[in-house]
Amino acid sequence: MEDPEEVESESEEEKKPDIKLGEIELKEGAVLVIKKTNYKGNDRIDFRVWYNTARYKGPSKQGFTVSMEKIDKFVKIVDNMKKKLKE
């Protein structure tokens, strides 16, 4: 049987810090923050609206994540979107 303290320390070591990749101000007090995160050992890119207002400071439920396996497809879609918008 595994020692619970050993299991806890192993999971702590696996936890990677978030890396902020960029941000876009949407309006006063609301910013879209893009960062690389890790959830249950899987890296992903998180797009999340963060608020900094008198009523609330922190992340909102507005947002989405893209797994690293699908990030190239996501970027390709954004590139195609830019091309279509220029037409």
CATH number of residue 34's parent domain: 2.30.31.10
How many domains, in total, are found in the chain?
1
CB 65, CB 47: distance < 8 Å: yes
Higher pLDDT, 49 or 12: 49
**38 falls within a domain:** yes
**pLDDT 10s digits, 45-70:** 999 999 999 999 999 998 999 999 99
Residues near 16 by beta carbon (within 8 Å), at least 6 away in sequence: 38, 43
* Phi, psi (rounded to 5 degrees) for 47: -110, 110
Give residue 13's pLDDT band: very low, low, confident or very high (50, 70, 90).
low
**46 falls within a domain:** yes
**32 falls within a domain:** yes
Residue labelled with tokens 């994540």: 65
